[in-house]
Amino acid sequence: MATFRPPRAFSLLATAALLIALEGPLVAQNPGEPGREAPAAEFADSFSVGYVLVPVVVRNGARYVQGLDREDFKLIVDGRPAPFESFESRADAPTSLVLLQDLSGSMESGDRMVWSKSAASFFLDQAETGDEFAIATFSDGEQRIEIPFTDNLGALREAVTTWKP
């Protein structure tokens, strides 16, 4: 049975929030009357988390374990079992990919640019719902982000057609 323990940063954040809550109200000196305290300045803040995604990959040596069900996992929070409301078993997840293109003069020789555009088109053709791409180019010591992360495949394909060394 696999056990999930929240990362240390999560525990530290919870501890910091608890320490802040335990500090109590702030007391400031009243600048108008030396030696007399101003009314306590109170600060209160709260937050809630409706859903926490906990991605898990299970491996046995060099192989990925497949076919695991909800019953194969136990969620432990602060040393105690915690219920989890939903469980999804899937092998796909959205992809974020930056296409980095060399536009220097060296790309003029042979079919380098043709192959490069073909490779970019291949990745865009494989896109699934939720995937996002960005395009960055470099040449002669200059770098540019042509298209920031987007799922607009039309804009991405159009940018690829404009590549020239």
**What is the SS3 assignment for 142?**
strand
> Residue 11 has what pLDDT?
41
pLDDT digits (tens, 9 = 90+) for 66-89: 888 889 998 888 999 988 888 887
DSSP 39: P
Give the pLDDT confidence score for residue 55 in this predicted structure: 78
Q: What is the largest CA-CA distance in the chain?
A: 83
pLDDT value for 40: 60
Tokens read off for 55: 């991605």
pLDDT recorded at residue 83: 87
Residue 136 has a pLDDT of 95
| pLDDT at res. 24 | 41
Compute φ and ψ for 9, nearest 5 degrees.
-60, -35
pLDDT attached to residue 57: 82
Residues with Cβ within 8 Å of 59's Cβ and at least 6 positions away in sequence, in order, are: 65
Q: Give the model's pLDDT for residue 118.
A: 95
Helix (H) or strand (E) holding 21: helix 8-23
Segments of the chain scoring below 50 in pLDDT: 3-29
Residue 88 confidence (pLDDT): 80
